[in-house]
């Protein structure tokens, strides 16, 4: 049975990393189904998310989609993610809220693709290309939401890239592939911060980290390469929508099954 789960974790990491996500939300659901100690689930999922997102970040940077404007967005969220990791909250209620928000976000992402800003950018990026500046209002709002999402992610045990990515895209701060790069970077830093908060009150399940580390790393490497070099912007946007909707449904179903 463990080999089946390893295959599932590999496929999950591949799909999620292709759009810049770490997969912690799915890992939380899988680990819940395995009936391991509840307190160990968030830090275990965050550890796997760190491995996945770290691999993805390297590939996105090498592919030329990392931007300086992403750094403040991540810095603002790191302290709140740590704080969230130290807090306790009713899990069932929060799962329902998160699931609902993710489903709504996925529906928004299925709207016709934005052409105005994205068509002005070249398909192949390099360091000599000037970075397009987002509007001050949109960027400020993104920074505020970054802190909020960092707190939410820290509490639940996810990197929260599923929130910051679509919001950044809808605010026209990033285009499709920049959004994936930002999501990976955001997830990596916030997973580390959130894990730091969680280990102050719980422990890692090292056995499951050992079982799934290699499948997650391999899936993330393949998926981030695929997303950065092969997929078109419209395909990436639709994968975003499907992945986010799947996460939302997963969260709600997990609550129903627990009841």
75-87 residue pLDDT tens: 999 999 999 889 8
Give CA torsion, residues 153, 158, 164, 167, to 10 deg: -90
Q: Helix or strand or coil: residue 194? A: helix
Q: Which residues of the chain have pLDDT under 50?
A: 114-130
The pTM score is: 0.75
pLDDT at residue 203, rounded to an integer: 74
Tens-digit pLDDT profile for residues 191-215: 999 999 988 887 777 888 888 999 9
The pLDDT assigned to 10 comes to 92
The answer to whether the beta carbons of residues 226 and 18 sit under 8 Å apart is yes
The predicted structure's pLDDT at residue 29: 74
Q: What whole-number distance in Å separates Cα of residue 60 and Cα of residue 232?
A: 15
Alpha helices in 87-135 (DSSP H): 91-109
pLDDT at 215: 92
How far apart CA 75 and CA 190 sit, in angstroms, is 9
The span from the CA of 70 to the CA of 90, in Å, is: 32
Q: Which of 65, 66, 10, 49 is nearest to 198 (CA)?
A: 49
pLDDT value, residue 119:
42
Q: What is the pLDDT of residue 253?
A: 80
Question: Quick one: tokens of 233?
Answer: 């912007």
User: Which residue is listed with tokens 């909020």?
Assistant: 148
């Amino acid at each position: 049975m463990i080999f089946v789960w390893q295959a599932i974790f590999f496929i999950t990491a591949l799909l999620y990393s292709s759009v810049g996500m770490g997969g912690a939300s799915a890992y939380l659901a899988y680990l819940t189904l395995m009936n391991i100690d509840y307190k160990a689930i968030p830090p275990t999922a965050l550890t796997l998310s760190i491995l996945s997102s770290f691999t993805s970040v390297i590939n996105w940077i090498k592919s030329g989609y990392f931007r300086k404007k992403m750094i403040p967005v991540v810095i603002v969220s790191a302290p709140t993610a740590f704080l969230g990791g130290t807090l306790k909250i009713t899990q069932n209620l929060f799962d329902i809220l998160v699931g609902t928000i993710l489903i709504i976000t996925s529906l928004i992402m299925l709207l016709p693709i934005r052409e105005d800003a994205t068509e002005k950018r070249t398909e192949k990026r390099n360091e000599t290309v000037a970075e397009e500046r987002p509007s001050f209002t949109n960027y400020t709002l993104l920074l505020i939401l970054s802190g909020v999402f960092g707190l939410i992610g820290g509490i639940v045990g996810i990197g929260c890239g599923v929130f910051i990515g679509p919001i950044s895209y809808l605010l026209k701060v990033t285009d499709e592939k920049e959004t994936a790069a930002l999501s990976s970077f955001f997830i990596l830093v916030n997973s580390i911060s959130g894990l730091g908060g969680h280990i102050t009150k719980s422990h890692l399940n090292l056995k499951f980290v050992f079982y799934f580390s290699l499948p997650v790393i391999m899936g993330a490497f393949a998926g981030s390469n695929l997303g950065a070099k092969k997929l078109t912007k419209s395909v990436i946007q639709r994968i975003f929508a499907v992945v986010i909707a799947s996460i939302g449904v997963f969260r709600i179903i997990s609550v129903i099954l627990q009841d």
